[in-house]
Structure 1
Amino acid sequence: DGKPTYQTVLQHSATANVVIPPRSTAVESNGDTGPPDQRDKHIAAIAKDGRLQWQAATGYGKRALIETAIGRYKGLIGRRVRARSFATQQTEVAIGCIVLNRMLACGHPESVRRQVRQA
Structure 2
Amino acid sequence: MDAETLEIRTIEVTPNAAGDASTLPDLLAQVPADERITRVGGDGAYDTSKCRAAIAARGADAVIPMRRGGQPWTTDAPGVDARNETLRAMKRLGRTIWKEWSGYHRRSLIETKMRCFKLLGERVASRSFDRQITELKVRAAVLNCFSQIATPHTIRVA
TM-score, normalization by structure 2: 0.40
Figure out how many residues of one structure are paired with residues of the other and give that number.
83
Q: Which has the larger radius of gyration?
A: 1
Q: 2:145 aligns with which of 98, 102, 107?
A: 102
2:157 is aligned to 114
| Separation in 2, partners of 1:37, 1:57 | 11
- Which residue number in structure 2 is paired with residue 61 of structure 1? 105
Residues 41 and 94 of structure 1: CA distance in aligned 2, closer, same or farther (over 3 Å): same
**Separation (CA, whole Å) in 1 of partners of 2:140 and 2:86:** 40
Unmatched segments (≥5 aa) in structure 1: 19-35
Q: 1:42 aligns with which of 90, 95, 107?
A: 90
Counterparts in 2 of 1:59 and 1:86: CA distance versus 1, 3 Å: farther
Secondary structure of the residue aligned to 1:113 is: coil
Letter paired with 2:134: T
Partners of 1:101 and 1:41 lie apart in 2 by 36
- Unmatched runs of 5 consecutive residues or more in structure 2: 1-66
Q: CA deviation at 1:109?
A: 1.8
Give the helix-richer structure, 1 or 2.
Answer: 1
User: TM-score scaled to structure 1, two decimals?
Assistant: 0.50
Q: 1:90 pairs with 125, 133, 139, which one?
A: 133
1:50-98 Cα deviation digits (max 9, x unpaired): x4xx5465341244233211111111x1001111122111111111011
Identity across the alignment (%) = 29
In 2, the alpha carbon distance for the partners of 1:111 and 1:81 equals 37
SS in 2 for 1:78: coil
Residue 80 to residue 17, structure 1, CA distance change in 2 (3 Å): farther
Higher relative contact order (Cα pairs below 8 Å, separated by 6+ residues) = 2
